[in-house]
A and B are shown apart, each in its own frame.
Chain A
Amino acid sequence: MSTVIKTEPNAFKDQLAVRSWKLPLTFGALALFAILVFAIFGPDGRATFRLSQDGDAWQLPDLVLPAKPVGILAAAGCVALAILSYLQTKLEGRTRRSVSNAFTVLFVLGLLVWIIGGTKSQNITLVGLFTGAMLIITPLVFGSLSGVLCERSGVVNIAIEGQLLAGAFTAALVGSITGNAYAALVAAAAAGVLVSVLLAAFSIKYLVNQIIVGVVLNVLVAGLTGFLFEKIMKIKVQGVTVYNDPPHLPNLPIPLLSDIPMLGPMFFRQSIIGYLMLVLVAVIWFGLFRTRWGLRVRAVGEHPQAADTMGINVNRTRFINVLAGGAVAGVGGAYFTLVAVSSFSKDMTGGLGFIALAALIFGRWNPIGAFLAALLFGVAGNLQSILSLAVTPIDGQFLAMLPYALTILAVSGLVGKSRAPAASGEPYIKG
Chain B
Amino acid sequence: MKLELKGITKSFGSLVANDHIDLVVQPGEIHGLLGENGAGKSTLMNVLYGLYEPSSGEILIDDKAVKFSGPADAMAAGIGMVHQHFMLVPVFTVAENVALGKEATGFAGVLDLEQTRKKIRDISAKYGFDVDPDAVVEDLPVGVQQRVEIIKALVRDARILILDEPTAVLTPQETDELISIMRQLKDSGTSLVFITHKLREIKAIADTITVIRRGKMVGTALPSAATTELAALMVGRSVSLALNKADATPGEETFRVRNLTVMDDAGHRLVDDVSFGVGTGEILAIAGVQGNGQTELTEAVLGLHKHVKGSVTLDGRELVGRNVRQVLDAGVGFVPEDRQIDGLVEHFSIAENLILDLYGKAPFSRGSTLNRAAIARHAEAKVVEFDVRTPSASVPVGTLSGGNQQKVVLARELSRPLKLFIASQPTRGVDVGSIEFLHKRIIAERDKGTPVVIVSTELDEVLELADRIAVLYAGALMGIVPGKSSRSLLGLMMAGLTATEAQAQLDASATTAEGELS
Q: Which residues of A contact B (CB under 8 A)?
A: 1-9, 11-18, 290-296, 298-299, 302-303, 305-313, 419, 422, 430-431
A63 to nearest B CB, angstroms? 42
- Nearest to A294 among chain B residues (CB) is B111
B156 to nearest A CB, angstroms? 9
Residues of the A chain whose Cβ atoms lie less than 8 Å from the Cβ of B176: 1, 3, 5
Are A306 and B474 touching (Cβ within 8 A)?
no
Residues of the A chain whose Cβ atoms lie less than 8 Å from the Cβ of B86: 306
Are B109 and A293 touching (Cβ within 8 A)?
yes
B-side interface size class? 35 or more
Are B497 and A6 touching (Cβ within 8 A)?
yes
Contact A299 B516, CB 8 Å, known A8-B474, A12-B475, A16-B263: no
Q: Quick one: which of B173, B268, B476, B517 contacts A15, CB cutoff 8 A?
A: B268
Question: In whole angstroms, what is the CA distance A3 to B512 when docked?
Answer: 10
Sample of 17 further A-B pairs with CB below 8 A, known A18-B264, A295-B92, A310-B87: A2-B512, A5-B172, A6-B501, A7-B173, A11-B272, A14-B269, A16-B263, A18-B265, A295-B100, A296-B100, A302-B89, A306-B87, A307-B101, A309-B81, A309-B83, A311-B101, A312-B100
B45 to nearest A CB, angstroms? 11
Q: Quick one: which of A11, A13, A311 contacts B476, CB cutoff 8 A?
A: A11
6 CB contacts below 8 A, A to B, read: A5-B172, A292-B109, A306-B88, A307-B100, A310-B71, A419-B91
B4 to nearest A CB, angstroms? 23
- Nearest to B171 among chain A residues (CB) is A8
Are A8 and B51 touching (Cβ within 8 A)?
no
B5 interface contact, C-beta 8 A: no
A304 to nearest B CB, angstroms? 10
Are B474 and A18 touching (Cβ within 8 A)?
no
Are A18 and B491 touching (Cβ within 8 A)?
no
Q: Which 6 pairs from chain A and chain B are nearest by CB?
A: A311-B72, A310-B101, A16-B267, A306-B87, A6-B496, A292-B103
- Nearest to A308 among chain B residues (CB) is B71
Q: Quick one: which of A6, A303, A311 contacts B71, CB cutoff 8 A?
A: A311
Judged by DSSP, the binding face of A is loop
B432 interface contact, C-beta 8 A: no
B102 to nearest A CB, angstroms? 7
Residues of the B chain whose Cβ atoms lie less than 8 Å from the Cβ of A308: 51, 71
Contact A292 B497, CB 8 Å, known A5-B173, A309-B83: no
Listed residue (B87, B99, B307) with the most chain A CB atoms within 10 angstroms of its CB: B87
Contact A295 B267, CB 8 Å, known A9-B474, A11-B272: no
- Nearest to B85 among chain A residues (CB) is A305
B234 interface contact, C-beta 8 A: no
Question: In whole angstroms, what is the CA distance A62 to B176 when docked?
Answer: 72
Give 1 or 0 for each of B245-276: 1 = CB within 8 Å of chain A CB. 00000000000000000011111110010000
Residues of the B chain whose Cβ atoms lie less than 8 Å from the Cβ of A302: 89-92
B49 interface contact, C-beta 8 A: yes
B224 to nearest A CB, angstroms? 16
A348 to nearest B CB, angstroms? 37
Contact A5 B495, CB 8 Å, known A291-B111, A302-B91: yes
Residues of the A chain whose Cβ atoms lie less than 8 Å from the Cβ of B56: none
Give 1 or 0 for each of B77-120: 1 = CB within 8 Å of chain A CB. 00001010011111110001101111101001111000000000
A9 to nearest B CB, angstroms? 5
Are A295 and B103 touching (Cβ within 8 A)?
yes
B129 interface contact, C-beta 8 A: no
Are A18 and B497 touching (Cβ within 8 A)?
no
B140 to nearest A CB, angstroms? 12
Are B71 and A309 touching (Cβ within 8 A)?
yes
Residues of the B chain whose Cβ atoms lie less than 8 Å from the Cβ of A431: 46, 51-52
Listed residue (A13, A294, A295, A308) with the most chain B CB atoms within 10 angstroms of its CB: A295
Question: In whole angstroms, what is the CA distance A430 to B69 when docked?
Answer: 13
Q: Quick one: which of B101, B111, B264, B512 contacts A312, CB cutoff 8 A?
A: B101
Question: In whole angstroms, what is the CA distance A16 to B265 when docked?
Answer: 9
Question: In whole angstroms, what is the CA distance A407 to B291 when docked?
Answer: 37
A180 to nearest B CB, angstroms? 31
Residues of the B chain whose Cβ atoms lie less than 8 Å from the Cβ of A18: 263-267, 307
Residues of the B chain whose Cβ atoms lie less than 8 Å from the Cβ of A307: 89, 100-101
Are B272 and A12 touching (Cβ within 8 A)?
yes
Residues of the A chain whose Cβ atoms lie less than 8 Å from the Cβ of B90: 302-303, 422
Contact A2 B100, CB 8 Å, known A13-B268, A18-B266, A309-B83: no
Are B99 and A309 touching (Cβ within 8 A)?
no
Residues of the B chain whose Cβ atoms lie less than 8 Å from the Cβ of A8: 171, 173, 474, 496
B492 interface contact, C-beta 8 A: yes
Question: In whole angstroms, what is the CA distance A310 to B86 when docked?
Answer: 12
Question: In whole angstroms, what is the CA distance A246 to B10 when docked?
Answer: 59
Question: In whole angstroms, what is the CA distance A15 to B267 when docked?
Answer: 5
Question: In whole angstroms, what is the CA distance A17 to B269 when docked?
Answer: 11
B162 to nearest A CB, angstroms? 11
Residues of the B chain whose Cβ atoms lie less than 8 Å from the Cβ of A309: 49, 51, 71, 81, 83, 87
B395 interface contact, C-beta 8 A: no
Residues of the B chain whose Cβ atoms lie less than 8 Å from the Cβ of A305: 87
Question: In whole angstroms, what is the CA distance A5 to B492 when docked?
Answer: 8
Q: Which residues in window 493-507 of B have CB below 8 A to A? A: 495-497, 501, 505
B179 interface contact, C-beta 8 A: yes
Question: In whole angstroms, what is the CA distance A6 to B492 when docked?
Answer: 10
Contact A290 B179, CB 8 Å, known A3-B491, A306-B88: no
Q: Which residues in window 10-61 of B have CB below 8 A to A? A: 46, 49, 51-52
Residues of the B chain whose Cβ atoms lie less than 8 Å from the Cβ of A11: 269, 272, 474-476
B66 interface contact, C-beta 8 A: no
Question: In whole angstroms, what is the CA distance A205 to B434 when docked?
Answer: 39
Are B102 and A310 touching (Cβ within 8 A)?
yes
B75 interface contact, C-beta 8 A: yes
Give 1 or 0 for each of B163-199: 1 = CB within 8 Å of chain A CB. 0000000011100100100000000000000000000
B381 interface contact, C-beta 8 A: no
B362 interface contact, C-beta 8 A: no
Contact A4 B88, CB 8 Å, known A11-B269, A13-B268, A308-B71: no
Are B111 and A3 touching (Cβ within 8 A)?
no
Are A290 and B87 touching (Cβ within 8 A)?
no
Are A299 and B111 touching (Cβ within 8 A)?
no
Residues of the A chain whose Cβ atoms lie less than 8 Å from the Cβ of B510: none
Question: In whole angstroms, what is the CA distance A9 to B86 when docked?
Answer: 25
Are A310 and B46 touching (Cβ within 8 A)?
no
Listed residue (B89, B102, B111) with the most chain A CB atoms within 10 angstroms of its CB: B89
